[in-house]
Amino acid sequence: MKLTDARKRVQSLREQIEHHNDLYYRAAAPEISDREYDLLVEELEGLEADFPRLKDEASPTQRVGSDSSEGFASVDHLVPMLSISNSYSPDELKRFDESLHRALSLPDDEIIEYNVELKIDGVAVSLVYEDGELARAVTRGDGARGDDITANARTIRSIPQALARRVGGILDVRAEIYFERSDFDAINSQRERDGLPLLSNPRNAATGTLKMLDRSVVAMRPLTYFAHGIGFSNVAKLPAMHSQLMNFYHELGLRVNPHTTVVEGVGGMLSMVEQWEAKRTTLGYDTDGLVMKVNRRDWQRDLGVRSKSVRWAVAYKFSAEQAETVLEEVTWQVGRTGAITPVANMRPVHLAGTIVKRATLHNVDELERLGIRLGDHCVIEKAGEIIPKVLRVLEARRTGDEKPIEIPRLCPSCGSGLVRSDEEVALRCVNSACPEQVRERIRHYASRHAMDIDGLGEKVVDQLVDENLIRDISDLYTLTSGQLQALERFAEKSADNLIRGIDDSRSRPLARFIFGIGIRMVGESTAADLARQFGTLEKFRAATFEALIAIDGIGDNVAKSIVDFFGESANQKLLDRLVTFGVAPVEDQTAAERDAHRSEAFDGRTFVLTGELESMTRDEARREIEKRGGTVSGSVSRKTNVLVAGGNAGSKLAKAQELKVAIWDEAQLMKALKA
C-alpha cells in the first residue's frame, strides 16, 4: 500500500473507531460487536506499525477509552487502570501462552498456572482503601484518570466502608460493579408501572446509575460488585499468588466471584472455556467471557504492561448468543440527518437475558444482502451482547407465504420524496422541515454531551413540535414560560426551570455547540478539534476545505461534510437566527493563540501532577501547562520530564524519584507559569 492510500485508510479507521468509542463510552449504545471493534483497531495498529510516519499520540490505539462525565471530579489513578486484550479462539489462547513462555524465558514444557475468572459485564472501578477505610471510588476513565464516584459507591450496601480487619497502608482494589438480572428486571417492572421508558440492559443501567448526581436514586438501586484485581498497594506481605490474593480479599469482607478457578496451561484454560460456554446462561448476572491471569504475581510484575493493556492476562470472549425468530414487520425510522433506517419488528424471543422484539437492518443494501422477506424465520444475535442484529435468513423454513419488503419512495414522517446518492447506501429525506428530523435534531442539540438543556427530554420535544411551538433549534430561544405552562404536565416551576436551562445554553463552549448543531460525521472529539483550531463560531463558519483537511484528525470526508453543511443557505440562516437570539458559544483558544503562550519551561515537555495544590485545582494547572505547550500525563514513566508534587503526594512521587524525574513543588510551578 502506498503512503497516500495508507494515510486515507488510517484516517478513515480513526474516525470509525472514535465514532464507536462515543457510542460505547458516552451513549452506552454500541452498534457493533467487540470482535468487529477489535478488528478495526487491529487494522489500524497494523498500518501504524507499517507506516511509522502515520503514528499519532492522539490515535485511539494509544488510549484505553473514556467514560468521563460532567458533574464528577476527575482524579488520577494511583496506578494506571489498563484494559485486557481480547481473544476469540483456542489458537489465540495458545499463542498467548507461547508469548508468555518467550517473555519469561521458560522452557516449552514448563506449565504456567492461570487464574481463570468470569468476565462480568459491568462497570470497572477502583476502590481505594486507606488503613482499611474506603477513601475513594473512581471509574476507569481513560486509564490514567477517572471520575470520582465515591459518594455514589458509598450507597452500594455490599461495598464495605471499612474492611473486616484493619490493613495498614493503601490497598487499591480493582472491581466490577453490576446489576443482578433479577434486580434489573424489578427496576424495569417498576418503571413500566410508572409509565417511564425501560432501561435497555443491565450494563448500561449500571453505567447510568453510577453517573447520577442524585445519590438518593443511586441508593435505591441494588447495585453490587465483585473484586478481581489490585492496582497500587503498599500493604505489607501481600500473597504471592493471585488466587491467594482473592482469598485474602474474601477474608477482608470484599465480594469475590465464587467461580474463580486455578488451572494449568493451555489445556486448563480451554477446559474452562468449554465448561462456561454452556453454563454462562445459568448465572444470575451477565458475563461476556473469561479472564485468564498468570497466577504468580511476581511473573505479572516481570511481564509488565503495554501502552493500553497488561501483558499477563487475556480475555476470552464468548460467542454472541443467538436465537431464532420471525420477521413480522419492517418499519422505517427517520434520523436527524434525514437517513431512513429499516427496523425489524420480530416475534418476541428471549435472548441474552432480555426479551427482544426489534433488531436493526441497517440499510437497503443489508436487506438485499440478507434476501429477507416478511414472515421469514431468521437468526438474530446481540452484537456485543447488547444490540440485536439479524444474522441470516433460514430459507429452508419458507412456506411460500412470505412477502417482499417494500422499499419506501416517500418519507414516512413528512411524505417527501426520498433520494439515494451514488456515494452512500442510505435512503435520505432531504426536507429539512420533516417533523421527525426536527424532533431528532432538537433532541440531539439538547442532549447532555451537546448543549445540555436540562428538562428538554424526548416527551417535551414531542409536545413542542406537535403544538408547532418549535420548527428548528433556534425556536427554542423564543419560548416563554407562559407558552410552556399551557402544555400538559407543565407547572410554573417546571416551565421556569426549562426556560432557565435554555437561557443557560446560550453560552456553552464552542465544541459543544459544534457537536450540537448536528453536522454529519462530526462527533464530540472532532468537534473539540475544530473548536481548538478555529476558536470562534465566525472563523469556523468561514473555514475552507483546505483549512479543514490541514487539521490533524480531519479527513476528506469530514471536511466535505462540514463544507456542504455551511453551503446550505438554510443552515446559514439557522446560525444567523441563533446568533440573533443571543447564542454565543464560549471561544476556545486557537492554535495561533497557543503558540503565543508557549513557554520554554513547558513547551514540548511532559508533566505529571500529583497531590493537592493550594493556588489552583489540578484541572486548572493542567490547562495552564497545556496553554504553554506542555503535555500533562496521568502516570509517571521514563518519558515524564517534570513531576509537580503538591501536598500529600503519593506513589507517583516515589516513582518519579526512582526514575530520577525532575520534581517541582507548587512554588516552582507558579514561578514558571508567571515567567
Name the residues annotated as catalytic: 119
* Cell representation of residue 415: 411524505
> What are the residues whose beta carbons fall under 8 Å from the beta carbon of 661, sequence distance 6 or more?
608, 636, 640, 641, 642, 643
Residue 77 to residue 87: CA distance in whole angstroms: 27
Within 372-454, residue ranges assigned H as helices are 435-446
The 3-state DSSP class for residue 309 equals strand
Residue 573 to residue 566: CA distance in whole angstroms: 10
Nearest to residue 180, comparing CAs of 279, 33, 287?
287
Residues composing the chain: 675
Q: Residue 452 in contact with residue 494, Cβ under 8 Å? A: no
> For residue 470, what are the CA distances in angstroms to 244, 465, 467, 495?
63, 5, 8, 15
- Please report the beta strands in 425-579, taking only residues with DSSP state E, as ranges in sequence order: 427-429
Give a three-class secondary structure readout of 342-387: EEEEEEEEEECCEEEEEEECCCHHHHHHHCCCECCEEEEEEECCCE
Backbone angles phi, psi at 391, to 5 degrees: -90, -50
Give a three-class secondary structure readout of 143-202: CCEEEECHHHHCCCCCCCCECCCCCCCEEEEEEEEECCHHHHHHHHHHHHHCCCCCCCCH
Amino acid at 22: D
Task: Determine the Cα angle at 298 with ends 126 and 89, to 5°.
Answer: 75
Residue 420 to residue 411: CA distance in whole angstroms: 12
Nearest to residue 70, comparing CAs of 447, 495, 442?
447
DSSP state of 403: B
The b/e string for 181-219 (b: 16+ C-beta within 10 A; e otherwise) is bebbeebbeeeeeeeeeebebbbbbbbebbbeeeeeebe
Residue 441 to residue 472: CA distance in whole angstroms: 8
Residue 141 to residue 25: CA distance in whole angstroms: 9
Q: Residue 134 in contact with residue 172, Cβ under 8 Å? A: no
Strand order in the sheet with 642-645: 631-633, 606-610, 642-645, 662-664
Residue 225 to residue 485: CA distance in whole angstroms: 44
> For residue 198, what are the CA distances in angstroms to 205, 384, 461, 578, 654?
10, 20, 19, 34, 48
> What is the distance in angstroms between the CA of the first residue and the CA of the last residue of the chain?
48
